[in-house]
Chain A
Amino acid sequence: MALTFKLLNKVGYSPEHQWNIFCPLAKLAFAQCTPRMHSSSYRRPGVPPDNTPPWKKIDFNFQKGVKEVKKHFGLLKKELVDHWTGPEGRPLVEHILEQTRVLWEFRCQQDLEQWVVSSDQEIGGRSEAYLKLGKNNQTALLCGTLNTNVPRDGETRYSGYCSMRSKLPQAAFNRLKHYDWSSFNSLHLRVRGDGRSWMVNLGTEMYFSHQKNDLYNYFLFTRGGPYWQDVKIPFSKFFLTSRGRIQDNQQPAWLDKINTLGFTLGDKVDGPFQLEIDFIGVCNDRAHTEEFAYEKYKRNP
């Protein structure tokens, strides 16, 4: 029992995530009060656990309340109107016939606010990562320094990563929403790197709560140099990992329940890095018919 508790508490997206799975209604009540935290619930070795009861973290603020109510009712109205027009707010014909969709592009500061940048400073490392707009405000530039010095806390063995992840999509009243990419089969990125290889992570909604650390990963190799590079990654190539360990039992990702998309750098090389992203989109590559690139045996290796 204690072990389960520990496992649940170790690393996760958010405390609300657990609420949602155990009791969907409780989430509605709590979600209003506590802002959704995107920092992980990982606790550094040697730091005492945060035992503050949740009701003490509630910030009663009338102004904030009014703002939230406005925001959520606005979202609700948008949802209702969108539902009237068609799926995802577009006419049905367009929805059925669309072959490509641009999910994120980086043209202004608001676009950057949909992303969370984190590095191993959370676990006591010394890497730095910053996300900012590019030269002529048309791209996002993720840059910083990677440092593989392991924090001297006696438990951590590896260090040195920087990552950028999209925030969870949310409907009105902080309900969970998922991206539905089931009509596409490839991820399309236009990037410009500096020769380092990155990892693309897809966070999907899983069925059980113990699967919340599961991610679908694939590599993103950058050429480097002054030219843009179009990368097309089929979703069938993504393999399942849990806490960075590749899993024996593989299954294709559920494309209608995508929560987050992220980029991680952890190539064990100290030094500066940069990745410039023009846009991130999904497309339907009709020449690609593969369902899943890896074997789905019961006992894999």
Chain B
Amino acid sequence: MRCTRVLLLAKEACGGPLTLGQALGLPGTVSCAQTPNMCLSRGFRTSMRKSSSNPAPTKREEKKEEAQPSQKSLVTDDFFNRFDQDCRNKATFSQVVDVFCKKDVRRRGHVEFIYAALQKMPEFGVERDLRVYNALLDVFPKEVFVPQNSFQRMFNHYPRQQECGVQVLEQMENYGILPDAETRFLLLQIFGRKSHPFLKYRRMMYWFPKFQNLNPYPMLEPLPQDPVDIAKLSLQRISADLDARITVYQMPSVEEETGITYPHIVGIQSPEQQSLLQKHSQDRPVYIEGPFPLWLKKTCVYYYVLRAELSPPGEKEEEEEIDPERNFYYPMRMDMDLERDLGDDDSFDVDEVEEGLIFAMCMVGSGDQATLAKWISGLQETNPILGHIPVVFRLESSPHEIQAVPEVEETDEEEAIQSQKMTQ
């Protein structure tokens, strides 16, 4: 017990965990440590300290050491600020970590360094890199924070370092990175089995795989660079119909002579929608509405729909009557009113939300009327009836809230309703 108190006192006096052996002297370390390999490692570090050219610290030097921690955070900040905005990447980041590890055997100020590194990770673009996190965990000195006896295990052994380790893991969790065997090995080496960071690791390994593949609408990670590919992917996702066919009406290109850019036009239409459009009455117009946002993980894309208004309530679509005698072998229509019990009724007692039919969807590079008109003329090849139906543009006139439309420039086209009679 007295030994522990001495340990604690020594820790406070020295300000750093690694000068323990030195403060106590070698025989003291041996007596308080229980496992032989541990005292070996401590003895080794002590000898390292002694082997350096510095003699035993004088009073002045101790003062210097005490003054250092206040500067520590500044120093670690300097590590990262040394690099400009341009050359901040994974290589420079690992270089910084290496420099810190090699600077001091005792890794003095590693907790501050790790906190600073965690903060700087997004700037260096390495926040989703598991190897970088492992390298950061590697900064912790090994086998020093492992509790040696039951009392240390009972109380929070080296709480500041454990908190820091948990913080590293939490940042991994926030960015959705699954730790691997190396992380486990490092944590075991640094903090031991009964420690908060290792518990956090176990929790992550337990819950992450359970929820990893839950999303029924998975997206490629990372997204393709080509906007046409993105448009194809997202149209396939929102059409919710495997029969739907994607057509690229126009590839993005720039005409060299005039400098006119042609934005991409990608549309999707299913056979069912085609037949519905065939049946659409020629008196009532169809509308192009949009842009509506669609989020693919972190990017927002916009799509346009070609749709009809709700038909007025009096005007009911007459269904095609099939006379019962068309086929003599089996009935064309069965009127069987199977008596259903209340307990068999699985439908919900709600009014159906009535909305106009959707005939096609598209994604374009620039959402002006000329581009969308090109889409309609492309649609006419498969749907000749579109030549006889008036098409009305209702861009940004829908009540859907679109606060920011960064890509699409349509400020001067508010309520630009223009009826176009397409003639072939």
Interface of A toward B, CB cutoff 8 Å: 93-94, 97-100, 102, 105, 107, 134-136, 138-139, 141, 143-145, 158, 188, 194-197, 219, 221-229, 246, 248, 268-269, 271-274, 278-279, 281, 283, 294, 300-301
Contacts and interface: CB of A to CB of B under 8 A. Distances in A.
B222 interface: no
Contact of A139 (B205, B211, B353): B353
B347 A100 contact: yes
B358 interface: yes
B346 A99 contact: yes
B214 A102 contact: no
Nearest to A138: B353
B400 interface: yes
B239 A271 contact: no
B295 A271 contact: yes
B237 interface: yes
Interface residues of B, number: 52
B238 A274 contact: no
Top 7 A-B residue pairs of the complex, sorted by shortest distance between their CB atoms: A225-B238, A195-B295, A301-B206, A97-B343, A97-B342, A301-B202, A224-B294
B305 A226 contact: yes
A37 to B, nearest CB: 29
Contact of A219 (B214, B234, B354): B214
A105 B215 CA distance: 26
A224 B237 contact: yes
A158 B203 CA distance: 20
A227 B240 contact: yes
5 contacts: A219-B214, A219-B215, A222-B217, A225-B303, A281-B348
B370 interface: no
Given A100-B345, A143-B401, A272-B403, A225 B206 contact: no
Given A225-B303, A229-B240, 19 more contacts: A98-B343, A99-B344, A100-B345, A100-B347, A135-B355, A194-B295, A195-B237, A222-B217, A224-B217, A224-B238, A226-B305, A246-B207, A269-B295, A269-B297, A278-B350, A279-B350, A283-B346, A301-B206, A301-B207
B238 A226 contact: yes
B296 A98 contact: no
Nearest to B294: A224
Contacts of B205: 301
B298 A279 contact: no
B207 A221 contact: no
Nearest to B219: A195
Contacts of A94: 342
A223 B240 CA distance: 8
Contacts of A143: 400-401
A145 B342 CA distance: 44
Contacts of A278: 350, 353
A299 B95 CA distance: 41
A295 to B, nearest CB: 9
A59 to B, nearest CB: 36
B237 A223 contact: yes
B128 to A, nearest CB: 13
B79 interface: no
A225 B404 contact: no
B351 A138 contact: yes
- Which of B297, B300, B341 has the largest count of A CB atoms less than 10 A from its CB? B300
Contacts of A98: 342-343
Interface string B282-318: 0000000000111111101001010100000000000
Contacts of A301: 199, 202-203, 205-207
B146 to A, nearest CB: 20
A279 B348 CA distance: 9
Given A195-B294, A225-B294, A226-B292, A102 B346 contact: no
B172 to A, nearest CB: 14
A100 B295 contact: no
Contacts of B211: 219
A141 B399 CA distance: 10
Contacts of B254: none
A123 B333 CA distance: 62
Contacts of B298: 269
